Structure 1
Amino acid sequence: MFRWILFFVFVILVEVYAFQAIRTVTRLRWVLYAYQIISFIIIMYIAYSFTQFDRSVGQNKQTLFTFGLLLLTYVPKMVIAIVMFGEDIVRFFFGVMREFLGNSNESFLIERRKFVSQAALGLAAIPFVSLLYGMTKGKYNFQVRKKTLYFADLPESFDGMTITQISDVHSGSFDNPDEISHAIDLINQQKSDIILFTGDIVNTHAEEMHPWIETFKRIENPPLGKFSVLGNHDYGEYVTWPTNKDKEDNFNAIKDLHRQIDFKLLLNEHVKLERNGQQIALVGVENWGHNFKKAGDLGKASKGLTPEDFKILMSHDPSHWEMEVKQSHNNYHLTLSGHTHGLQFGIEIPGLIKWSPVQYVYKQWAGLYEHLGRYVYVNRGFGFHAYPGRVGIWPEITVLELKKGEKIA
């Protein structure tokens, strides 16, 4: 009950300030009435949708739309409220000064200035347009990102090996078959030696993937195969299940989805990849997250491997690399992760800025990171979750080329 009180207090404050900005800019009654009616309808719809959330179902199309509408409505209004509150501080300061100087014939608070409200509305248009673009176009703005990594101890036969990585499919959020098909075409166009999928095939339920199985089966089988691991959402732990058996059946069905799309699911195990008599190890662990399920067992997955073996590790959550992998004496040369989605919101301008609020939670949140010659690459995600869009952090298909030798500066 208390959270609902906080929610409505927040809504009232933001709405009051937003309405004051509108009223300062225009006095047209039909505009003011239309604004109030539309705002009221949106508030009631959001409140109603939240009350209808079913813990046995979890995220669905309605919850995605509702959360998107919430952000689309209130992020811009929060911008307006911040500007208008700042104006109120100034108005209060001048009111105090007038009282102090004995100028009490005028109203304590000076009138709002039209240009301030216009500026607030102009600033609010930026997140509004960005969020709207993210929900309509940005979520399918697939980017192919390429990196070349150098390793002195890479076996000669694997010099020039290419890896295509995808992560965080979240198939239950998809709503455009043509865009997903285009993304699959992009994957196939890379002609990589191996394709690796680092977890979260669904949001919660195995049946979310059923409409997309044939689409993902179109991913061509490369020379070294297609492999995958599980992510935190694949365990079905974010909903309430009728029985433990229902949860277990769903988990088994999710694991079988990987077989159905022709990926070999690695469950705390490794395989040897061979070329011209030489081998490297591909290690796949179940989800291991600092704040999420810790089903991954690095020791079990690496049993029989030595520090001298060249190893590629698939581990969904990059906090695993930070907390356990990068300091391991077993020497994991390259770790591939996902999970963060880059929060699906941020700013990336190569060479200038790379920022997202998620960086305050995860040290490694998007792209390549290195520690003493050991690397982790964090894929920004293929799909989307919660917010039905992406702003600045676009869906990613990663292509990594492994080279033998030292990087030339």
Structure 2
Amino acid sequence: MIFRIVFLCLILLIIELYTFQVLKTLIKSKPVLFSIQLVSLLVLVYIIYSLMQFDRNSGQTRQLMGVVGILLIVYVPKLILTLVLMSEDIFRLGAGTINYFVDYDKSTDFLNSRRKFVSQIGLGLAAVPFLSLIYGVTVGKYNYKVIKQRIFFPDLPEAFDGFTITQISDIHSGSFDNPEKINYAIDLVNEQNSDLILFTGDIVNTDAKEMHPWIETFNRIKKHEYGKYSVLGNHDYGEYVTWPTEAAKEDNFKAIKSLYGEIGFNLLLNEHTFIEKEGAKIALVGVENWGHNFKQAGDLNKAAGPLKKEDFKILMSHDPSHWEHVVQHDEKHYHLTLSGHTHGMQFGIEIPGYFKWSLAQYVYKQWAGLYENLGRYVYVNRGFGFHAYPGRVGIMPEITVIELKKGVNVA
């Protein structure tokens, strides 16, 4: 931990030095320059001090999330400035070397002075993430979007043609700080009037107590005609803090599992049930968390039991890497898998229907939206809440409505 803090300090100091070069180029008033540097120093000291106070016994707190937010808001723009100036330094070094060894002109400085317009360009580029990150923590984190997705299946039972499912995922109730916005989101969920609602895990960040202030709010999710079902996410196991005893950790895990029932959801723990309509039925399978790089408590074989390949199946599995590494290759043919987990890293660029990008795509092949392989689909919900960074930029919190259709997609 100390090594990481020291390494971070070194990186931030380098960024501060380059930022000072920009400010010195653009600001000629020494009092103003000094004031800015003093504020920067105080912010840096506050960030480092707060990170050094991190206690694994407490896990992620709102204070820690605030520090992460400040760190990103302050230093991502400064990092952009640093990269711009580093690029100029490479150019200056190259030009100086050519001048010294090729042109043999020793009368000029080896490095040319910084160009003001480069600093101005860097400042303009830095303003984009600065304003975006501020938007993310003030507006973006509660800017809920209802995303509707129609999926065609040739073997869907006739009775389920047009059947609708609302999916929510990654609530992370310990991060919430605005009851009015959460109630607004619950209203959006209810307005969809879907046949079935599914919740794909992560009800808390770590501790069951995080959900206690929000139980009444989430109990406002109305009963859906064909039920309310859920599975666990990786955060529901309480594995990101140090517990005083193993018994305390287990008690917390039991309490978290109970939370799902307290808000009216039937928790599927490596098991399945059937949704019946007009004499037809589809299987709803729920596994515990299975992540390629996270806890692997999910048991697909146990959850599916005697189900056959021909049975129409919807699988709830929190982490989409389960679909990538296991589910899409399973001989039982899981028609539709619903996941979450990635949050789209809460930062990216998305133009619905045309373009989407996030750092999440370099970690997960399936990170937001719908993906297909040989008639097997996975939908990755972008998440209801937020975690670590207390905001969202570009990748907004999502309520998904999926309509099942019988037939072949001709689009």
* Bin of the TM-score, shorter chain as denominator length: over 0.9
CA distance in 2 between counterparts of 1:296 and 1:4 reads 35
Structure 1 residue corresponding to 2:397, chosen from 373, 386, 395: 395
* Equivalent position SS for 1:121: helix
CA distance in 2 between counterparts of 1:95 and 1:299 reads 66
Corresponding position of 1:236: 238
CA distance in 2 between counterparts of 1:288 and 1:407 reads 30
Corresponding position of 2:39: 38
Asked if structure 1 preserves the Cα contact closer than 8 Å seen for 2:341 and 2:383, the reply is yes
Corresponding position of 1:222: 224
Show structure 1 runs of 4+ deviating over 3 A. Answer: none
Q: Following TM superposition, by how much is the alpha carbon of 1:107 offset from its aligned partner in structure 2, in angstroms?
A: 2.2
Which ranges of structure 2 fall in alignment gaps of 5 or more residues?
none
Equivalent runs, 1:158-173 vs 2, <5 Å: 158-173=160-175
Corresponding position of 2:125: 123
Corresponding position of 2:77: 76
Letter in 1 for 2:35: A
Corresponding position of 1:55: 56
Corresponding position of 1:85: 86
Q: Following TM superposition, by how much is the alpha carbon of 1:98 offset from its aligned partner in structure 2, in angstroms?
A: 3.0
The one-character-per-residue Cα deviations of 1:2-34 (angstroms, maximum 9, x if unpaired) are 333322221121101001101100111122111
Q: Following TM superposition, by how much is the alpha carbon of 1:182 offset from its aligned partner in structure 2, in angstroms?
A: 0.5
* Equivalent position SS for 2:329: coil
The one-character-per-residue Cα deviations of 1:284-314 (angstroms, maximum 9, x if unpaired) are 1100111111111111111121111111100
CA distance in 1 between counterparts of 2:43 and 2:346 reads 24
Corresponding position of 1:95: 96
Corresponding position: 1:290 with 2:292: yes
Name the % identity: 63
Corresponding position of 1:349: 351
Equivalent runs, 1:138-149 vs 2, <5 Å: 138-149=140-151
CA distance in 2 between counterparts of 1:27 and 1:365 reads 47
CA distance in 1 between counterparts of 2:82 and 2:313 reads 52
Corresponding position of 2:370: 368
CA distance in 1 between counterparts of 2:95 and 2:378 reads 55
Q: Following TM superposition, by how much is the alpha carbon of 1:220 offset from its aligned partner in structure 2, in angstroms?
A: 0.6
CA distance in 2 between counterparts of 1:339 and 1:115 reads 43
Which ranges of structure 1 fall in alignment gaps of 5 or more residues?
none
The one-character-per-residue Cα deviations of 1:153-195 (angstroms, maximum 9, x if unpaired) are 1111111100000000000001111111110000000000000
CA distance in 1 between counterparts of 2:3 and 2:63 reads 25
Q: Following TM superposition, by how much is the alpha carbon of 1:350 offset from its aligned partner in structure 2, in angstroms?
A: 2.8
Structure 1 residue corresponding to 2:153, chosen from 151, 158, 161: 151
Q: Following TM superposition, by how much is the alpha carbon of 1:352 offset from its aligned partner in structure 2, in angstroms?
A: 3.2
Q: Following TM superposition, by how much is the alpha carbon of 1:270 offset from its aligned partner in structure 2, in angstroms?
A: 0.8
* Equivalent position SS for 2:326: helix
Asked if structure 1 preserves the Cα contact closer than 8 Å seen for 2:196 and 2:226, the reply is yes
Equivalent runs, 1:261-280 vs 2, <5 Å: 261-280=263-282
* Equivalent position SS for 1:326: helix
CA distance in 2 between counterparts of 1:215 and 1:102 reads 75
Aligned-CA RMSD value: 1.0
Letter in 1 for 2:229: F
CA distance in 1 between counterparts of 2:234 and 2:4 reads 27
Letter in 2 for 1:29: K
TM-score w.r.t. structure 1 length? 0.98
CA distance in 2 between counterparts of 1:233 and 1:2 reads 26
Corresponding position of 2:255: 253
CA distance in 2 between counterparts of 1:337 and 1:174 reads 21
Structure 2 residue corresponding to 1:104, chosen from 78, 103, 106: 106
